[in-house]
Amino acid sequence: MKKILLIYPYFFTGIRKDQMFPPLGIALLSAILKKRGLEVMKLDCTFLTEEEAAKIAKEFRPDITGIYVMATLANNAVELLARLKKENPESLYVTGGPLPTLYPERFSQRFDYVFKGEAAKSFPDFCTDFFSSSSKNAFIKNIHPEKYPGIYSRTMGFMDEPSSHLTKTEIDSLPVPDKEGFDHEKYQELSLQHDGSKKSSIMMTYGCPFSCDFCSKPIFGNQVRFRSIDRIMEEIQDILSYGYDSLWIADDLFTLDPNFLISFCNALIHKKIQITWSCLSRADSVTNETSQIMKRSGCSKVYLGIESGNDNILKKMNKKINTTTVRNGVEMFRKHGIGCAGFFIVGYPGETVETIEETFRFALSLDLEEISFNVPYPLPGSKLYARLENISAADWTMENETTFLYKSEFDEGWLKKRILETYETFKNPDQLK
């Protein structure tokens, strides 16, 4: 039996910057490949050391090794790859994810093949054909790149096929992600510590039509596609079977379409599924009607990308929203008993000390349960990234979030001090009186 190893190269350091969930990407690929009769191992490195991960990979001895890479995982992925190549030089090494999609030529210097964009069809097709071939060399010699949208390679013969998005029909034909073998007990333990629930992630829509200045969407793009409610309910039942009691809906903008949102909420209510859920939202994408049914179906909190308390800065960010709309949206959610968390960016190019202070004051004036401040993070593929110069690529994995990756006019020390002071005031609101 030919074997495939799928690796998520995140190693938990003990520092919690965000919620943590079993990796959906490799879980979905594993389910697709297993459905085709292939032997697959998922290697989630979250609760392992690099040594432990390398030992597991060595003992499995896969014929194809796939490593998922996004910006914060790049260093881990490259280091682990070098180690695995020494242990199992005969394996075919492939990669996919946001960063390889943006920079395939860079990653093709280390990996045999890069899969750009949504690879839920092209990569399984590639694996199926590879294992049907008489030998590795025969496959490489006779490969037809056009069969695998998004494939890129320089080391195995130059090829560069444009990637394509899955259609709604293709999305709904995908199996439920394979969550077997993940350390659900540890994920649930961390989730309980975070907010008292046992939360797992799910995706229901793909793509986002907005073009915020700082945002990068190399995988799902602008075209929005919706999964069928029946398939979503099937996956939720699978999540419940592992002992989870809450969902993090990981879509870029789950609340975009009111009809889809209402259909989802009605399905939870009708099927009497006892589960809470939270999601990303915009303050202007939900009405009184939809927020009411969201609450009835179990919505406990929405996370809002508010970003700034100054309307001119919001225009620079191309947020297509203003502070009045944000305030009204937060008040509407809170009126219906839904908690709100707000994300903010301070020190954006074009800001002043006063606009930054406006953002701090605005954040404290809103009825939010959580607030989070970051400096601008120029993600590869974003308009912000294209505009800035001398961006440091030294360490995308930094735990200190008040660190600029480019030369900024704002002092990091001052910003960090003001952020900590604002957090302290948020925790002790009597200081505002």
155 and 187 inside one domain:
no
Position with higher pLDDT, 36 vs 14: 36
Banded model confidence at residue 392, pLDDT cuts 50, 70, 90: low
Q: Check whether residue 351 and residue 227 sit in a common domain.
A: yes
When pLDDT is cut at 50, 70 and 90, the band that residue 432 belongs to is: low
The pTM for the full model equals: 0.92
Chosen domain end from 160, 192, 218 = 160
Residue 399 binned pLDDT confidence (cut-offs 50, 70, 90): very low
Residue 142 in any domain: the answer is: yes
| Domain co-membership, 234 together with 114 | no
Q: Report if residue 297 sits inside a domain.
A: yes
Q: Given this model, what pLDDT does residue 400 score?
A: 46
For residues 261 and 119, state if they share a domain.
no
The answer as to whether 225 is a domain residue is yes
pLDDT, tens digit (0-9, with 9 covering 90-100), for 72-102: 899 999 999 999 999 999 999 999 999 999 9
pLDDT value for 389: 76
Tens of pLDDT, residue by residue over 24-69, are: 999 999 999 999 999 999 999 999 999 999 999 999 999 999 999 9
In a domain, 177, yes or no: no
3-state secondary structure string, the chain? CCEEEEEECCCCCCCCCCCCCCCHHHHHHHHHHHHCCCEEEEEECCCCCHHHHHHHHHHHCCCEEEEECCHHHHHHHHHHHHHHHHHCCCCEEEEECHHHHHCHHHHCCCCCEEECCCCCCHHHHHHHHHHHCCCHHHHHHHCCHHHCCCEEECCCCCEECCCCCCCHHHHHCCCCCCCCCCCHHHHHHHHHHHHCCCEEEECCEECCCCCCCCCCCCCCCCCCEECCHHHHHHHHHHHHHCCCCEEEECCCCCCCCHHHHHHHHHHHHHCCCCCEEEEEECCCCCCHHHHHHHHHCCEEEEEEEEECCCHHHHHHCCCCCCHHHHHHHHHHHHHCCCEEEEEEECCCCCCCHHHHHHHHHHHHHCCCCEEEEECCCCCCCCHHHHHCCCCCCCCCCCCCCCCCCCCCCCCHHHHHHHHHHHHHHHHCHHHHC
CATH number of the domain where residue 128 is located: 3.40.50.280
171 domain residue, yes or no: no
d(Cα 40, Cα 177) in Å, to the nearest integer? 13
Q: Is there a domain that residue 30 lies in? A: yes
Indicate which CATH number applies to the domain containing 318: 3.20.20.70
Domain that holds residue 356: 183-432
Domain count, the chain: 2
| Same domain, yes or no: 145 and 192 | no
Q: Tell whether 351 and 423 lie within a shared domain.
A: yes
- Judge whether 418 lies within some domain: yes
Is 68 in the same domain as 187?
no
Domain boundary among 160, 192, 209: 160
Is there a single domain that holds both residue 273 and residue 414? Answer: yes
- 61 and 93 in a single domain? The answer is yes
> Are 150 and 295 in a shared domain?
no
Digit-coded pLDDT (tens) for 271-323? 999 999 999 999 999 999 999 999 999 999 999 999 999 999 999 999 999 99
Give residue 290's pLDDT: 96
Whether residues 191 and 332 fall in one domain: yes
**Residues 167-193, mean pLDDT to the nearest whole number:** 96
Residue 169 lies in a domain: no
143 and 195 in a single domain? The answer is no
Contact 317, 210 (CB under 8 A): no
